Structure 1
Amino acid sequence: MLSMTTLAVAQEQNGLVGPGLNESVFSKSVQGMKKSTGYFDLWLSNDQAKVFLAVKELNKPFLLVTSLPYGLGSNDVGLDRGQVGTSKLVHFEKHGKRLFLVQENTRFVADSHNPDERASVREAFSGAVLWSADIIASEGSLFLIDFSSFLVADRHGVVDSLSRSRQGNYVVDEKRSAVLTQNAKNFPDNTELEALLTFSGLGEGQFVRQVAIDQKSLRMHQHVSLVRLPEGYTARPYHPGSGGIDSDRMDFATPLAESITVQWQLRHRLEKLDPTAAVSGVKKPIVYYLDRGAPEPVRTALMEGASWWGTAFEKAGFKDAYRVELLPEGVDPMDIRYNTIMWVHRATRGWSYGNAVSDPRTGEIIKGAVTLGSQRVRQDILIAESLLAPYGKTTSEEKKRAAEQMALARLRQLAAHEVGHTLGIAHNFAPSRQGNGSVMDYPHPIVKLNAQGEPELNTAYGVGVGPWDEFVIQHLYSNFPGQNETLALANLRAKAKASGLQYVADSDSRAPGAAHPNGLLWDFGADSLQTYDQLMQVRQRALSRFSTAVLPPQRQLGELEARLVPLYLLHRYQIEGVARLIAGAEYEYGLAQDANEGRVTAGAKPVAAATQRQALQKIADSLRAEQLALPQNVLDILTPQSEGYSRTPEYFSGKMNVIFDALSAVEAGSAQSCQFLFDPSRINRLSWQHARDIQQLGVSELLQQVFERTWKRSSVPSNVVAGEAVQLASNWVVLDAVLNLIDSGRLHPQVQAEVRANVADLAQWLQKNPSKGSISHSRRQAADLILSYLREPTSVKLRGLPLIPPGAPI
């Protein structure tokens, strides 16, 4: 316990007392508590689990950031260990005998010298009162408050995350929650606090039940960082062709002819010791710290991959400006001062993330926080083992090592990718056209057949950052002393374009009906058509030699199907690349000035007609039995799950009880092609491009080609196992996809009319050509379904496309 004299001296040394301060009020309030001096001075009581906080300045903004030292462990809910929240600009206000913690609305501002103009915007848009507390003691501008109730409330949004993922309604149980005073840390520019929170609910959600030991009582830890606002940082305007990530706000003080939306580039502060030198050391390097929980050989792979960015900074003129280290023992990774790479465990495989905590005023990155899901590497090994089949009668140690090395190579690339986001870099899905063009693309393993006709993975993934990554680092971080920065950056972009670099962002790459032919996730190769053929050859070879040798000896036989899925759907991303050529169009990002000065070409250039027709032929052929049927060697060994094991979403959705359902696999394979081919936006574009240029592929030609290769085909070769049944399964997926296209409500009326006319023609053909046996049954029923739907759509319940086992992330 502090004596009265000791406490008074301590308060005076830290600026907490002055002439006339009533020492007895403070003394009585903090009696028996331990003082911690820092950005916000604290008094801590382990016995009472309380934190008292001294507020020295009212109405002075600072940053509030939350994070989760302990997570839920569910990929589907997304509350991961090490997850950081967004930064909030907050300040304390005094009203009566209470202090209010107020969040400022940083989305709407007036960057003006006129205080009335600034106030007019502040008054127009609502801020938020996050919390309030009674003032325990005060003197002048100094106020003491009990901050404990703030810390034991849900500040990170755990309740909202559980609700959004349909896990039920949870609340914080205050009696089973507590401030962890022993975890409080204080530094000159940041105060770090933590609490144990217990979330109480019914526990009926699927994902919560999958991971929690008691679904009705979820223990989480919440970390809160109070951070001094950084000063002296020079913000860089965001450019849409830079490959960077922006921080935007509406600025009502911009000139009338300029955009009211102002965008700043997210980036770390990086200052040269000699700003005029082409190459210079830096005042403070960017350092990332790797989670000590990452095991070997994972740890080394992550360190190596994350370190690749050092070469890009060197080429941009920053010497020893970036490095990766193992987190020092005893350091709290939630401390806002540390950029972290966390190795995070979940019950299932899932996405990894790179998040940046930034100053909402300027876009300056305060903390980079990388989350790497630990299960992904096991999926990579599974894919590699399925291709290499190393577990035969004589186990191939060489192939086992090759599988592990492929997985570690993927981890290196993954670490570099997610760190890239926290450096301020967006996805770019075009560089795969240039091989290892960028770690910010999503890479598919480059698989090829060796001289013996066996799959080879020696160069599955690239090494190091690519030329696009080096360009983006220059664009984000380089300084240009004595030059016009805007012009220097424009010249940098022009140089990148001249070297063949292209940028296609997230928003133009993920949708099934996306248009840009180069904005592709998980593809590889300069030509989608050629790479598709290459991958289909690998797929055919791997399926033809599929055996129990793909499965490690201690795994139960039911897992063979889990190994089959990624092989059977090996072409899933390349078929999307093929579909993207149909009604595809290339375009660039830029400003009007870029187009006026010839650095960017305005408009969208359609893919050549001949290329579109080649793509259509390949995707139509992917719906034929020859490509969809499984070979006999696969069908003969697939075994139901053993007792104590169960099927997961990684398997095909079967309708034959425990026996492997080959037709469900065929339907999934067909749906993979149909979801891209019959996307409404693609069909609308197809109609429009044909209207503008009659030589281009049109809607009727596409439908006729697909129907000719599926419903109208005369026979299936006898060497295709169960060929007739396989083709019929695919035919029905095609018809369901086309009917859903009509029913989507997303087609222009004239386009819908054209699709309906082609489907009506198909119904007439099916009636006139009934064939025999099971084919005749399907043709008659298909014709009846079509005609019933066209007469009265509401009288028919359409089937959705079959479920496809997840592929991403890989």
Structure 2
Amino acid sequence: MRFCYSALLWLLTTSLFAQPNAPAASPTIASFTKDMDKRAGFLTFYWDAKKGKIWLEIDRFGQEMLYYPTLAQGVGSNDIGLDRGRLGAEHVVKFERSGNKVLLIEPNYGYRALSRDSLERRAVAESFAQSVHAGFEIAAEDGQRVLVDLTPFLMQDAVGAVQAIAQTRQGSFRVDASRCAMYLPHTKAFPQNTEFETTITLTGDSPGQYLRQVVPTPTAVTMRQHHSFVELPPLDGSYQPRLFDPRAGLNNIEFFDYATPVSQPIIKRYIVRHRLAKKDPTAAISDPVKPIIYYMDPGAPEPIRQALIEGTSWWNQAFEAAGYRNAFQVKLLPADADPMDIRYNLIQWVHRSTRGWSYGMSIVDPRTGEILKGKVTLGSLRVRQDYLIAQGLTARFENNSADTAALMPMALARLRQLAAHEVGHTLGLPHNYIASTVNRSSVMDYPHPLVGILANNKLTLDSAYATGIGAWDKVAITYGYQDFPKGTNEKAALDKLIDDYVKKGLKFLSDQDARPEGSAHPDTHLWDGQADATDELARTLAIRRIALDQFDARKIPVGMPMATLEEVLVPMYMFHRYQTEAASKVVGGVLYSYALRGDGQVVAEPVPAARQRKAIDALVATLQPRILALPKGILSLIPPRAFGIDANPREVFKRHTGLTFDPMGPPEAAANLTLRLLLNPERCARLLNQKAMDSAMPGFSDLLTSLINVTFEPMRRNAGEARTYDEAIQQLTSRRLLESLIALASDKEADGRVRSVAHDAIQHIRYKYLTQRSTDAPFNYVVSDTSPNQLLWLIQQYERNPQQPAVANTPLAAPDGAPIDPGYDWLDCEKE
């Protein structure tokens, strides 16, 4: 028994104090990957063909790099916006190890301390959250090198395609992992970047119309998404960030700098630009240390490709003005070059099912604002829209010949300007929407074709688009890229550059001053032309009248279905749409600049009263039947669509008449445009305010009086002439004005005074025009308080329930106009 107890005691003691077995040592990277395909580069990885996995070798712990996703193969719908080449957001990331785990961490560069004091920097870093993008288990290691499975990270919807489809109401989709895989042809490692591409499939039910148009089986949307890891330049002072100035016309990054003295602004802003330096900074003109080179997609066909190369090359003129020789170059992408390589700035030719936007985007170092790569996406169908506009203006397709000599030159001239515009965004320039008022001084404006009127009412396209870089563009490039000799006071030199351009009459105003319909600057617009918006509206209407009067079957080639005339008619009838928008901003407008204290620029002052009244008269005139009516000869030319040739609903007029062309559709669309612009609630509030400040200025009531007079006053008829079409148009504009006033009076977000004046105008219309019998009344029936008159009914419904006013019918919207020129671009400047 003693032996047994001793044996038991020995067993217990051994069990209590025995060390646990040591974990099995991690395999070496070499043994783990011995049968895999190794790709060495910035980040080395291994392709495991048996398991379909990517194994990433990490040896750069703590080293910051740039990560960003891209949509490599798009969906093909401009409306959804999932285009080939679409860039996601950039993220500065680094790998950090903790035990057997590796985290991919994004530091928070929105909040920093530009200080040499490590404790001061740490205090800021620990005050704001970071982001961990992924965590990985270590599968193998050799010394400081570890191996992780990157595949789950790569198989995500990195570009937000699910959200984009949902936001455009195209259905509820999700990633189907069983239908996702690596795409090896575009999974590569380069010296400065490593690239991964995946085939991602989204599945869902009830796909919307846009998806059904472009996806063969719209319940399964397959695309390719791309992941880029890019080496960041060292923060060694070789690149010097340049401070941002709102007057300079360059995009910027911004961040909080908590090391800033209390007496100075805590927000720091750097302009966005490529790295460029002179070989000889003391020389007035010098070759660059390294030129900026852009590469053209060889997939663009001729003669389009050459036009794009020529337009892009214009930028060398701006760099010459900044003191460089051959600093900006354009080349065709070599056959052995890979467009994914970070070293290649790329101009990409992209196809969609409909005309759509073009983009100029950049990969930017968020720490400094340095542009690492420019990427331009040009939609291939845009040139066809420009050709169509030229066709409607000047083409004459006779039986055996066609007068089309001016069509393709205009379309190619537009492409040159478009290429220059989008590349300008990738150089750091935002839009300059006031440039059209200063002799078309910037390619960063949106240009409407400048059509000339010759003798015998012949239209000419000889000067439709400007050639070469603009005077403003040279100023902006000089501000961003000029290399100053050592010892130069850079801020003083840059301030002088701005002072000089102001003295020359050049101007800069951008998106926030032009895009909203209610914006206030009278000279800052998209797709307008010339210095005075109202004068140009009159000229544009004259061009429109000539185009409509000369519009006939010869606008399409022999053998084309007659119904396709409507696609040519749309841009001719709506030719005045953008100049109408431009002139509307004169009304209640304010002249201002991006002034800094002491720089001598105009700060803010109202547009003179005479100029505003002139604009009101011109805009109200666009509601007259003589402007809105289609020539009757056109109405007999457009039949219902031919069998097998459907219309794109975006390219034709909306209608209430089903298959047949609706002669009231175009007038309703054009009238809605003018009324929507003039009765913008913000514009109406500005009119009230300016009248209160100065009784000599036009007020909101003055505008309403003009609108009511043109729409409700009796038409004057010539003896014995019946004008029923014109009468129907006037009835339409009367109804649309009343509905617009009811909507304005019911708008909870509008200024209370605006709602009150709109209500008074409704009552004025009721008692002056709808409750009396008069042979001069604009309607062909007797009305009274109890009449079933639709207008009276609308007012009665408004009075009974002003929060939910009735409308006679949903107004017909105009067909899509944009993009006839550069479109949306990307409002985050470095993404343009």
What is the TM-score of this pair, normalised by structure 2? 0.91
Distance 2:757 2:420 in 1: 48
**1:464 counterpart residue number:** 468
Aligned with residue 245 of structure 1, among 251, 273, 291: 251
SS of match in other structure, 1:401:
coil
**2:241 counterpart residue number:** 235
**Residues 797, 806 of structure 2: 8 Å contact kept:** no
**Residues 313, 319 of structure 1: 8 Å contact kept:** yes
Q: Does 1:608 align with 2:608?
A: yes
Q: Does 1:785 align with 2:788?
A: no
Closer, same or farther: CA 777–650 of 1 in aligned 2, 3 Å: farther
Q: Cα distance, 1:184 vs. partner?
A: 2.9
**Residues 225, 336 of structure 1: 8 Å contact kept:** no
**1:622 counterpart residue number:** 622
SS of match in other structure, 1:688:
helix
Q: Deviations over 1:492-528 (max 9, x none)?
A: 0111111111111101101111100111110111222
What does 1:655-804 align with in structure 2 at a 5 Å threshold?
655-715=656-716, 718=721, 722-771=725-774, 774-776=779-781, 780-790=789-799, 792-794=801-803, 796-798=805-807, 801-804=811-814
Q: Cα distance, 1:70 vs. partner?
A: 1.2
Distance 1:484 1:552 in 2: 63
Q: What is the letter of the counterpart of residue 807 of structure 1?
A: G
Distance 1:293 1:567 in 2: 32
Q: Cα distance, 1:617 vs. partner?
A: 0.7
Q: Does 1:134 align with 2:137?
A: yes
Compare relative contact order (CA 8 Å, sep 6+) and give the higher one, 1 or 2.
Answer: 2
Closer, same or farther: CA 180–523 of 1 in aligned 2, 3 Å: same
Aligned with residue 537 of structure 1, among 524, 542, 552: 542
Structure showing greater Rg: 2
Closer, same or farther: CA 778–39 of 1 in aligned 2, 3 Å: farther
**1:125 counterpart residue number:** 128
Distance 1:35 1:44 in 2: 7
Q: Cα distance, 1:438 vs. partner?
A: 0.8
**Residues 27, 140 of structure 2: 8 Å contact kept:** no
**Residues 26, 141 of structure 2: 8 Å contact kept:** no
Q: What is the letter of the counterpart of residue 802 of structure 2?
A: P
**Residues 392, 555 of structure 2: 8 Å contact kept:** yes
SS of match in other structure, 1:805:
coil
Aligned with residue 567 of structure 2, among 562, 567, 570: 562
**1:337 counterpart residue number:** 343
Between the two proteins, what is the percent identity of the paired residues? 38
**Residues 528, 577 of structure 1: 8 Å contact kept:** yes
SS of match in other structure, 2:172:
coil
Distance 1:56 1:796 in 2: 67
Q: Does 1:187 align with 2:190?
A: yes
Aligned with residue 581 of structure 1, among 583, 586, 603: 586
Equivalent residue pairs, number: 782
Distance 1:770 1:405 in 2: 58
Distance 1:343 1:181 in 2: 23
Q: Cα distance, 1:787 vs. partner?
A: 4.7
Distance 1:679 1:646 in 2: 36
Distance 1:556 1:132 in 2: 60
Q: CA RMSD in A?
A: 2.0
Q: Does 1:45 align with 2:54?
A: no
**1:285 counterpart residue number:** 291
SS of match in other structure, 2:496:
helix
Q: Cα distance, 1:160 vs. partner?
A: 2.2
Distance 1:688 1:511 in 2: 20
Q: Deviations over 1:400-450 (max 9, x none)?
A: 131111111111100000000000000011111123311000000011221
**Residues 747, 755 of structure 2: 8 Å contact kept:** no
What does 1:643-654 align with in structure 2 at a 5 Å threshold?
643-647=643-647, 648-654=649-655
Aligned with residue 500 of structure 1, among 497, 501, 505: 505
SS of match in other structure, 1:439:
coil
Distance 1:47 1:324 in 2: 43
Deviates more, 1:774-783 or 1:764-773: 774-783
SS of match in other structure, 1:275:
coil
SS of match in other structure, 1:384:
helix
Distance 1:719 1:326 in 2: 64
Aligned with residue 553 of structure 1, among 558, 566, 579: 558
SS of match in other structure, 1:323:
strand
Closer, same or farther: CA 565–219 of 1 in aligned 2, 3 Å: same
What does 1:475-486 align with in structure 2 at a 5 Å threshold?
475-481=479-485, 482-486=487-491
Q: Deviations over 1:35-79 (max 9, x none)?
A: 222211222334543322221132221111222221111111111
Closer, same or farther: CA 691–801 of 1 in aligned 2, 3 Å: farther
**1:161 counterpart residue number:** 164
**Residues 391, 553 of structure 1: 8 Å contact kept:** yes
Structure 1 runs not aligned, ≥5 long = 1-21
Q: Does 1:433 align with 2:443?
A: no
Q: What is the letter of the counterpart of residue 742 of structure 1?
A: A
Q: What is the letter of the counterpart of residue 319 of structure 1?
A: R
Closer, same or farther: CA 382–120 of 1 in aligned 2, 3 Å: same
Q: What is the letter of the counterpart of residue 424 of structure 2?
A: G
**2:10 counterpart residue number:** none
**2:413 counterpart residue number:** 409
**Residues 630, 721 of structure 1: 8 Å contact kept:** no
**1:12 counterpart residue number:** none
Q: Does 1:444 align with 2:448?
A: yes
Distance 1:533 1:123 in 2: 61
Q: Does 1:513 align with 2:539?
A: no
Distance 2:248 2:714 in 1: 49
Distance 1:436 1:371 in 2: 24
**1:10 counterpart residue number:** none
Q: Cα distance, 1:736 vs. partner?
A: 1.6
**1:637 counterpart residue number:** 637
Closer, same or farther: CA 92–24 of 1 in aligned 2, 3 Å: closer
Q: Deviations over 1:697-744 (max 9, x none)?
A: 011111111101111234356475711011111221222222222222
Q: What is the letter of the counterpart of residue 664 of structure 1?
A: G
Q: What is the letter of the counterpart of residue 725 of structure 1?
A: A
**1:7 counterpart residue number:** none
Q: What is the letter of the counterpart of residue 568 of structure 1?
A: Y
Distance 1:627 1:432 in 2: 26
**1:805 counterpart residue number:** 815
